[in-house]
Amino acid sequence: HRRFDYRPKTDPYCQARYTFCPTGSAIPVMKKEDVIEVYRLQAPVWEFKYGDLLGHLKIMHDAVGFRSSLTGKNYTMEWYELFQLGNCTFPHLRPGIDAPFWCNQGAACFYEGIDDAHWKENGTLVLVTTISGTMFNEMAEWVKYDNETGIYYETWTVQASPDKQSTVWFDSYECSKFILRTYQKLADLGAVFKKIQTNYTSIILFSGEPIYLGNETSIFGPLGNKTLAAAIRDFYNPFKPHQTVSEFFVDLVRIIDRVILNHQFYLFYNLEYWFLPMKFPFLKIIYEEVPLPVGSKESFGI
């Protein structure tokens, strides 16, 4: 996943139904002698609206919790879409604008408190490691860098087949990937994680070798490829980036139908368009184990 120099300003056209990070706050500076507990948090996506419905499908949202021993304060940190999931997955087709218009950014959100009931009821709230205040502060610096340079949400993982060793053409970039990067950073700083099973959700598309098509200008610009531009617009046409979850899933069924009937998918990734020659089983939602990290050897001298 490509890193960018800065986060672009959001277009006023992009409106979120739910405010991004409504109670967010700056990450505090911890005293270096503090001992901070780190918690793995996981619950079904959109639980606030649909309860455990998506838990049965194992479509989970991940976050990380912290508890300071010195102050007794709890904190939650997570990474999610600025304009909800539909907008990150499908573009808007705006009248008078040839190119599909993407309202797609993801970012970290940090706030005081851990909503114990939310994470425990249908999900997970479990201690995974303890770190020093110094490690926490170094992690906070890294979060700032990660947040400013990894800006686009990517729903799909794309790989060659369901085999474990299969080629991954494109990796997703969503809430769980941020949590995994955070754990890895903590491990590199010297954190030692408990030996517990940790599973994550991935939405995987299966495709032959992707074909590079170009960027917005080369396809939709004045010297662009009119036929290709029309094909991409036509592909995205049924999939409006609706706000409601039920409509999102209706679109998902439609997209699967199209993908399976025509073996086609147009992917927008790191501001570029790719054609995916889709193949069986086309799409899978998996909930699989990703072990907690082990620090790099040199980290323990820190």
Report whether 27 contacts 173 (CB < 8 A): no
Report whether 38 contacts 128 (CB < 8 A): yes
User: What is the token pair recorded at 76?
Assistant: 């939650």
**Phi/psi of residue 57, each to 5°?**
-90, 0
pLDDT computed for residue 223 by the predictor? 92
Query: Distance between CA atoms of 285 and 82, rounded to whole angstroms?
Result: 23
Query: What are the contacts of 170-176 at 24+ separation with CB within 8 A?
Result: 170/210, 170/267, 170/269, 170/274, 171/1, 172/202, 172/203, 173/1, 173/106, 174/79, 174/80, 174/106, 175/61, 175/62, 175/63, 175/78, 175/79, 175/80, 175/106, 176/60, 176/62, 176/200, 176/201, 176/202
Residue with the two structure tokens 């939602």: 285
Residue with the two structure tokens 């927008």: 268
Global confidence as pTM: 0.88
Report whether 108 contacts 178 (CB < 8 A): yes
174-191 CB burial, b ≥16 within 10 A, e <16: bbbbbbbbbbbbbbbbbb
Task: List all residues 6 or more positions away from 214 whose beta carbon is below 8 Å from its beta carbon.
Answer: 224, 225, 228, 272, 273
Report whether 59 contacts 70 (CB < 8 A): no
Strand duo 199-207 + 106-112: pairing: unpaired
Residues marked active site are found at 61, 175
pLDDT tens digit at each of 302 positions of the chain: 789 998 888 888 898 888 889 999 999 999 999 999 999 999 887 555 555 554 455 678 899 999 999 999 999 999 999 988 778 888 999 888 899 999 999 999 999 999 998 898 878 999 999 999 999 999 999 999 999 999 999 999 999 999 989 999 999 999 999 999 999 999 999 999 999 999 998 999 999 999 999 999 999 999 999 999 999 998 888 777 665 667 777 777 777 777 777 888 999 999 999 999 999 998 888 888 999 998 765 444 33
